[in-house]
Amino acid sequence: MREPLPAIRSATVEEASEITEALRALGIESTTVPSHELYLEESSKKICALEFSDEALTATLVGNNARLAAGWDELTLLVTGRLVLSRIEVEERRRRGRKQTVDSRHLSADESVLDVYLATSEINWRIRASNFDFSCLGSAKSITTFENFKALMNVLRERAIKAQFDDSYAQARSALEIVWPLEPQTKIGDWRRSGAGKFDTATVTTTDNEDQFTRYSRLRHYLGRRA
């Protein structure tokens, strides 16, 4: 893993400066990245289809079918990884003041993701394999999403010759847990009567790494601009 990684997350600029000076005293150079420079308040532009020409590519946005265009030489960075979702459902029953688990399920899913950065914008285009029309591949389109996603990346890398390609997220994930840990979201349902003196409720806990991937992707873009 040769790419620089976030090591410490500080609450204030002053604290970050103190950490930087302490590291420098030990002979370790570091870079402070202000959170606002990652534009995390701005969502990625979700793309559901692409069209290619010799000079440019045109993207269709998810939801409103609006279109965005960019020349191949405007693409500066391609960041790829996998989004992983874990969902745990636990059904509990309360009877006479006591609770017991009556059923539980653990569901998981993952998919490939690609962020595309342009020289003219800080906000990336995002392509999720499960919500993308691969018709732009033409005769190269396969029957599996895995092969299509791989082919799409190859096309983009071949045509966007000025763009850097970064697939380091998979290796970096365990280290990123220290600075950007995954945060489970838990939702508890209302109690409902299921019989005489019995009440059931379901607790759903979901965990996904999309926020972590976004932070890492934006960090790669930020560092690339400063290089």
Domain locations along the chain: 1-32, 33-226
Using a cut of 0.85, tell me whether the model's pTM lies above it.
yes
C-alpha–C-alpha distance, residues 45 and 124, integer Å: 6
More confident residue, 121 or 8: 121
Question: What sign for the dihedral angle of Cα 164, 51, 80, 66?
Answer: positive
C-alpha–C-alpha distance, residues 181 and 12, integer Å: 19
Angle 181-183-184 from CA coordinates, rounded to 5°? 140
Between helix 210-226 and helix 169-179 the angle, nearest 10°, is 100
pLDDT for the residue 197: 59
Digit-coded pLDDT (tens) for 70-102: 999 999 999 999 999 999 998 888 776 677 787
Contact 78, 70 (CB under 8 A): no
- DSSP-based three-state secondary structure for 214: helix
Rounded mean pLDDT, 58-67:
95
pLDDT for the residue 51: 98
C-alpha–C-alpha distance, residues 134 and 81, integer Å: 18
Rounded mean pLDDT, 143-153:
97
Confidence bin at 201 (pLDDT 50/70/90): confident
pLDDT for the residue 196: 61
C-alpha–C-alpha distance, residues 116 and 126, integer Å: 6
Tell me the backbone φ, ψ of residue 148, rounded to 5 degrees.
Answer: -65, -40
- DSSP-based three-state secondary structure for 184: coil
pLDDT for the residue 2: 66
C-alpha–C-alpha distance, residues 44 and 67, integer Å: 15
DSSP state of 44: P
CB half-sphere exposure, 94, CA atoms < 13 A: 9
Confidence bin at 190 (pLDDT 50/70/90): low
pLDDT for the residue 19: 87
